[in-house]
Structure 1
């Protein structure tokens, strides 16, 4: 079994320790083969624990200092203060987490949704958010940026990690209508697909929301759906009739 982790990084976040982990190098098998870090998946619990330990080690923190939240596709964000119990944050329903605390790694789990890592290295403030279409439309990106600024961040840079790309994201007319009701200009994130249905550009939508907040941002360019050897994908698993799917992890630390 391959045990070498594959960790994608981006020069925009070179001032902080960070990584978008692929599925390579994990202990899980079967549908979850590789680095499945989803505690709420049906994978063996001990395998998920091993995988998260490997991530923590790669990030230079203890397993207990790998901070995640219970993701629910919301716009809610948790601020991890100096004395907060990291273990308790794992049961808080939210989709963003920020801190100025050292010795911890903030992490989010995804399987097509956008993992966004953010940092103001000079101010010593970092953030991570899980931004699928629902959370992004609801404002989780803006809420994460606001929470970082409340901690003193002024020059935030952000990278969107592996996520589903437009060429793989066919949606319905009602989906598109939800966006156009919010802002008719959002039509620019949709194009016609091969089946006559709209194709949604999730990473471009995420970039637009970040840049509108004055954040310098880039997308890594990796499509989760199109690369099964490296990435888990909820949509691909659904199309293949799989009973469950693995969760990728993305983490950042000061």
Structure 2
């Protein structure tokens, strides 16, 4: 099936933003983007409108489009709202899921597991995004879905480093995420809402711990501090 240039542009920009190839807050030059994707201004602006509505871009009057920023206020809202939103979606997915929705969920779970085993951090982040999106789709909640999609944009951008473990503890945490996905898939399949909520919250705790660590970097060595003081 042939994909139109407009659709290809839309999908590619989403992926580039999620993978941080387009940095938060970066300005998108309309002429350059139009040339890169072989689009005229009108369909490109339609793409920007869609991405703006989804939360990937911020459209500024007379100033073009910028990739959605990630500031402290947004991070606080993410950490406060994330567990409530994801747990609610998981509960409703277990309660309302249909048989046809299970294969895409299992595919996303399998893709994530394979990507983590192969050490492909970018693919793991995108499969994680797809997995949580599939859970939300199964919940069939039109009121919460826009909020969940917006939350996952920042969630995915923030977890890029999570899928590049270096230390033994980080690798262990990543294996736990894969286990959580499998357990959540089983809970939704069995329509066990309580297990779905519990697993989702355990998974969120790993994410929160990672973010807190990123926000509190290790102290500089004393020798470096001394050099800085005498510079």
TM-score, normalization by structure 1: 0.25
Q: Which has the higher strand share?
A: 1
Larger Cα Rg: Structure 1 or Structure 2?
A: 2
TM-score normalized by the length of structure 2: 0.27
